[in-house]
Amino acid sequence: MQLTTKVQQLFLFLAVINGEISCSHGTAVAAPPVAVQKTEGGNPVGQLVGYVKDSVVRTVDGTKEMWSNHGRCKEIRGKQKEHREKLKKEWEFELELSPQELKKKLQTVNGGITYDEFTFLSKGKEDRGKLMNMVFMMWGAPRFFPYALMFYPDILPAPFQPLASGLAKETKWQKASRQRTHCVIQTLLSLEKEAHETPALAKLNIFGKKKQQRTMETIGRLGFTIGAMMTAPGAKDGAGAKLAMDALSSELYKEEPITRKEKRLVGVPESVVLGLTKAVNGPNLFTSFQPNFMRRGAVLTHIQKITEADKFLVNEDVDLDVLSTATLLEACTERMIGGPGRSKEELQKGLSDWLNLSVVEPSNRIATSGEEFNENFARAALLCYYALDGARDARSSSALPRLLFRGQQESAKLDDSEGKKRWMR
């Protein structure tokens, strides 16, 4: 029985990495495709042998790429080590620090490498973690591994993720824009419902009516704030993000230390956390059934990832002009900035505004005022704003909601070609 389970898992794993089962959502680059000759009809046994052969070749190619990526990561970490050793010698003469303080200061240094190398290092670390989780799942909990492949789309490392079929009618950037627009609409509907309707389970708690009423009032005020920002003149792109951060200034900056609950986004409404989780990881059936603390964990993991990248860009004074369009597009997509149809200049401006609001301005303020800054909540708010801003943009890939709220047209005549243009836009 155990052997049968292992064989079933092996065939399922081969099917996933061969692209027969789609379970990938993200921007990771998979291994080069393997040439597969598809024939109509033929011997079923021969087809099965060819399928297994192609799957094994795909697995071997992914393994080779994983090992190659590991070697390059070691080279990049070697460059970082050399840079830290150089700084250590300089700081030993220039700064009066104890060995413990010097070691702690050096641990925060990620210089000596380019931004592309930094992102490659981050992806390599993420892939190795996924590989260890996958191995543990296959041998520690083998019966749950097929369900993990079904409900957890990112369980496979990038070299083993299934290849794109090439039959999709939209690019991955357009797909992300459409899915995030749907997440924004669903989240706004949930907030409006939670502000006016008492949950069914809350009605059963006769001792929590006042607490539930305060929660509904808080969500109602949040909805009013969101509406005020959406109707404010010129509230788009970086100007709108600045307005949102100013509106939340009292929650972001505090004289007393930021509590662990505030850092863990415990006070953020569950519908917002659910919307962020779906926007970050893509639509997933399992996400709706996850406990809220697991969703917050996924959001915080993403925030931690972009926090490290933000600090690298600012501390190393990376020139955004030298970054390629593909690198800018990936960085902006992780932060939900913009969407399809944005030029390189627009992407640079959006990323620059993000860095200014999340790193530069807070660092300057806390240096002079001595306040505490909740950077996790700030980035969560920026993610929400830019997702909303992208959904309202005319270049969003989700056409029907935009046309719905556009209102009826005065002219009753609209030929098929004009309607098709508006739909495809």
pTM of the model: 0.80
Residues 6+ apart with CB under 8 A from 37: 50
3-state SS class at 171:
coil
Would the pLDDT of 31 be above 70? no
> Mean pLDDT across the stretch 118-141?
87
The least confident of 47-56, 136-145, 413-422 is 413-422
Q: Per-residue pLDDT for 1 more than 50?
A: no
Q: What is the DSSP letter of 27?
A: S
> For residues 385 and 85, what is the distance between their CA atoms, to the nearest angstrom?
41
In the chain, what percentage of residues exceed pLDDT 90? 27
d(C-alpha 110, C-alpha 94), whole Å: 20
pLDDT at 355: 95
User: How many other C-beta atoms are found inside a 10 Å radius of the C-beta of residue 273?
Assistant: 22
Is residue 163 over pLDDT 70?
no
Residue 330 host element (H or E): helix 325-334
pLDDT at 267 over 70: yes
Given a cut of 70, whether residue 33 has pLDDT beyond it is: no
Q: In the block, which residue shows the tokens 């100007």?
A: 239
Residue 6 pLDDT: 52
Please give the pLDDT value at position 42.
Answer: 62
Task: Check residues 11 and 315 and name the one with the higher pLDDT.
Answer: 315
What span, in angstroms and rounded, lies between the C-alpha atoms of 382 and 354? 8
Residues facing residue 254 across a β-bridge: 372
Q: Using one digit for the tens of pLDDT, what is the confidence trace for 217-244?
A: 888 888 888 888 888 887 788 888 999 9
**Residue range 344-368, pLDDT digits in tens:** 899 999 999 999 999 999 999 999 9
Which range (10-14, 142-146, 305-309) has the least confidence? 10-14
pLDDT in tens, 275-298: 999 999 887 777 878 888 989 999
Question: What pLDDT is stored for residue 10 in this prediction?
Answer: 53
Q: In this predicted model, which residue has the larger pLDDT, 153 or 329?
A: 329
Nearest Cα residue to 383 out of 270, 219, 245: 245
Per-residue pLDDT band at 14 (split at 50, 70, 90) = low
When pLDDT is cut at 50, 70 and 90, the band that residue 34 belongs to is very low
The mean pLDDT of 113-138, rounded to a whole number, is: 88
pLDDT score of 366: 92
Rounded Cα–Cα distance for residues 384 and 398 (Å)? 17
Q: CB neighbours (10 Å) of residue 351?
A: 20
Per-residue confidence band for 417, with pLDDT thresholds at 50, 70 and 90: low
The residues, ordered by sequence, that sit 6+ positions from 132 with a Cβ below 8 Å of its Cβ are none
- What's the gap between Cα 34 and its chain centre? 29
pLDDT(109) > 70: yes
Per-residue confidence (pLDDT) for residue 204, from 0 to 100: 73
What average pLDDT does this structure show over 379-384? 94
Question: Angle, nearest 10°, between helix axes 44-94 and 115-140?
Answer: 130
Mean pLDDT within 414-420? 48
Comparing 363 with 425, the larger pLDDT belongs to 363
**Mean pLDDT within 339-348:** 87
Helix (H) / strand (E) element for 138: namely: helix 115-140
- Mean per-residue pLDDT for 392-400? 83
Instruction: Give 243 or 408, the one with higher predicted confidence.
Output: 243
Q: Taking residues 61-78, report their average pLDDT.
A: 89
* φ and ψ of 264, to 5 deg: -90, 5
Please give the share of the chain, as a percent, with pLDDT higher than 70.
84
pLDDT: is 400 or 74 the higher one?
74
